[in-house]
Chains A and B, each alone.
Chain A
Amino acid sequence: MKRIRITSCGNQLLAQPTSRRPSCLRSPAALQNSCTPHNHRIQSRLQTTAATSDNPFDSLEASATQRSQSSNTSSKPARYPNKQPLVTLPSPHPSAAQHSAKLAALRSRLSLPQRFPLQTLARTLIHPSADPNPAFNNGSLSILGGNLLGYYTTEYLLANYPRLPMAVVFAAQSAYTGPKALATIASEWGIEAAAEPGGEVDPGLLQFKRLRSGDDLPASLRNQRRYKWNVTTTNKVLESDEFGSATQSPSSQQLSTQQVPLEEAAQSFVRALIGSLHLHLGRPLVKRFFRDHFLSRHLDLSTLFDFRTPTRDLSRLCAREGFEAPVARLISETGRLSRHPVFVVGVYSGKDKLGEGAGSSLDEARVRAAAAALKGWYLYRPTEVTVPSSMEGETDQSKWKPNMVDCGEVIV
């Protein structure tokens, strides 16, 4: 479905390997004339909080570094170098992340390696509603992570279940990485939310501006499209996101300084964590993290189907595939004249039994048998699959085995 060029997205976030990284702290006087609201936080440059080379901060920083080297050589390293009250900051200072017990515990709980910096983990916890500055909130990381999650889930589903109907693919996507699923995952990771965001708050807490109970959702989170009876699956594939949902996911600009519910902030954290893992640790580790935390969850795909007319679908399917027309036959029965009869009916195509179902009436059993036969077709799983992302960066093409592509679900 949706693909993005991950390299181009990642380059914006990674710091340039610059040799003039500030080694000594800037004097507060040098910062007074700059009017950016977050200038006091730029100087502790982290990999993901760094600005790109075309950023005006770079030139400012270089000049400030020279000035402070000449004038203020005896500046002492302090925890918060610029003595601005923390309460004035919209979100915790990046340097506070090193001292947060909650963040260190969270990193170990998720089994992330020590080389994943706590500052980045702290940044993934800052929702745009708490801090509108894109250099300090998780908006960009969240976009990257959301696309990665969609990509890995889609390729897993399409490679392993090539015959799934599109509606079921959408439902399975949202069951693994949908908004509700991500919010659940965040709560299962033990993420706690701060009551109110601010510079003095522990950076290990989820920072977002909380929606007061009884208030309406912000307009960007509400359903923007009007109901239409003729929204087809093709329309959803082309125009909607990977979950086929009616609402468009809001951009971080739209959500800045707006009150949002906890679920929205929690899911943006999970997405941003995936994005930052991709940037810091690379693709193999993100894929392992995705397998361990997302694909390992239990989802029985056969429970997602909701057939309206399974007998008709089955006869159309048999006609399309060139099988003999399906015939329902009674296999066994008990208590036909009693209060609770049971019939076991099989659906046969020629001599092959396609499916079997039990019900308390002949019709119910026949419908169940047809549904079982359809599920048997749609849930076909090839024994060997190679997902496309496993071949990224590989030079040896011989490992690639083409995946099965089915002609699609039955159209009645």
Chain B
Amino acid sequence: MPVSAINTVAKARNGVGAFILQCKKLDFHYCDWAGSSRGMNAFIKSSLPAFAARNPQIEISVSPRPNKHPVIVGHYINGRQKAICVRNMTNHEVKEKALLLRDASGDKLKKVTKPVTSLNESVRGIWSPFHGSKINI
């Protein structure tokens, strides 16, 4: 056998070609009685239909959670969940939290130090001491 091959799987590059929103489900939990849910209830009544229509990729479920603070839980494609307590927030603030959960990737937060992360190799190549013009000292 002059040449054999190594079996791998091609790596995904979300956004190159197709983009898949990583948030797949949002749970909205509210309480009818408690005052901390006032903003959440207003959001569910007024803004949630428009939010759901604008983000059809996300499955949305609304359910009561009596005598508890209101919570938004996001479920992500990588299997993780993110929950944000939205107690005493206004309609607008709840909406911002929902947008935050929608745009999150589901990964743990980590510090990004490099300006570009890519699977492609560098166009310039890695600097080599053996190539290029010699420096005379």
- Complex CA gap A165/B4 in Å reads 9
Contacts A298-B119, A308-B3 given: A293-B17 contact, CB under 8 Å? yes
A305: interface (CB < 8 Å)? yes
B99: interface (CB < 8 Å)? no
Q: List residues of chain B with CB within 8 A of the CB of A38.
A: none
Task: Decide: A178 and B5 in contact? CB cutoff 8 A.
Answer: no
Residue of A nearest to B120 (CB): A298
Task: Decide: A165 and B3 in contact? CB cutoff 8 A.
Answer: yes
Task: Decide: B8 and A105 in contact? CB cutoff 8 A.
Answer: no
Contacts A188-B77, A412-B2 given: A292-B7 contact, CB under 8 Å? no
> Within B35-71, which residues are at the interface with A (CB < 8 Å)?
56-61
B130: interface (CB < 8 Å)? yes
- Complex CA gap A204/B8 in Å reads 30
| Chain B interface SS verdict (over half) | loop
For residue B48, give the distance in angstroms from its CB to the closest CB of chain A: 14
Task: Decide: B6 and A171 in contact? CB cutoff 8 A.
Answer: yes
- Complex CA gap A220/B77 in Å reads 31
- Complex CA gap A168/B25 in Å reads 40
Q: How large is the interface on B (under 10, 10 to 19, 20 to 34, 35 or more residues)?
A: 35 or more
Task: Decide: A297 and B18 in contact? CB cutoff 8 A.
Answer: no
A176: interface (CB < 8 Å)? yes
Task: Decide: A190 and B77 in contact? CB cutoff 8 A.
Answer: yes
Task: Decide: B3 and A101 in contact? CB cutoff 8 A.
Answer: no
- Complex CA gap A347/B73 in Å reads 60
A74: interface (CB < 8 Å)? no
For residue A292, give the distance in angstroms from its CB to the closest CB of chain B: 4
Q: List residues of chain A with CB within 8 A of the CB of B7.
A: 171, 174-175, 178
Task: Decide: A297 and B3 in contact? CB cutoff 8 A.
Answer: no
Binary contact track A340-357/B, C-beta < 8 Å → 1, others 0: 001010000000000000
Instruction: Name A307's contact: one of B2, B56, B128 (CB within 8 Å).
Output: B2
> Within A180-207, which residues are at the interface with B (CB < 8 Å)?
180-181, 184-185, 187-190, 204
- Complex CA gap A171/B16 in Å reads 22
B24: interface (CB < 8 Å)? yes
For residue A86, give the distance in angstroms from its CB to the closest CB of chain B: 21
Task: Decide: B18 and A332 in contact? CB cutoff 8 A.
Answer: no
Instruction: Name A344's contact: one of B10, B60, B130 (CB within 8 Å).
Output: B130
Binary contact track A301-316/B, C-beta < 8 Å → 1, others 0: 0011111110011000
Task: Decide: A304 and B57 in contact? CB cutoff 8 A.
Answer: no
Task: Decide: B61 and A101 in contact? CB cutoff 8 A.
Answer: yes
- Complex CA gap A305/B61 in Å reads 49
Contacts A171-B5, A171-B7, A297-B11 given: A292-B18 contact, CB under 8 Å? yes
Task: Decide: B17 and A176 in contact? CB cutoff 8 A.
Answer: no
Task: Decide: A167 and B4 in contact? CB cutoff 8 A.
Answer: yes
- Complex CA gap A305/B3 in Å reads 7
> Within B1-35, which residues are at the interface with A (CB < 8 Å)?
1-14, 16-18, 20-21, 24-25
Contacts A111-B18, A297-B12, A303-B8 given: A104-B3 contact, CB under 8 Å? no
Instruction: Name B57's contact: one of A105, A344, A409 (CB within 8 Å).
Output: A105
B115: interface (CB < 8 Å)? no
Residue of B nearest to A179 (CB): B9
- Complex CA gap A180/B7 in Å reads 10
Task: Decide: B24 and A109 in contact? CB cutoff 8 A.
Answer: yes
- Complex CA gap A175/B1 in Å reads 21
For residue B25, give the distance in angstroms from its CB to the closest CB of chain A: 8
Given known contacts A171-B5, A171-B8, A374-B3, what 9 new A-B pairs fall within 8 Å (CB)?
A101-B61, A111-B18, A170-B5, A171-B6, A180-B9, A304-B5, A304-B6, A304-B8, A334-B129
List the interface of chain B (C-beta within 8 A of A). Answer: 1-14, 16-18, 20-21, 24-25, 56-61, 77, 119-121, 128-131
Pairs A–B under 8 Å by Cβ, sample size 19: A109-B21, A165-B5, A180-B9, A188-B12, A293-B17, A296-B16, A298-B13, A298-B16, A300-B121, A305-B3, A306-B3, A306-B6, A307-B2, A308-B4, A312-B2, A332-B131, A344-B131, A411-B2, A412-B2
Name the 8 nearest CB pairs between A and B, nearest first: A296-B17, A171-B5, A297-B10, A108-B56, A292-B17, A292-B18, A299-B10, A190-B77
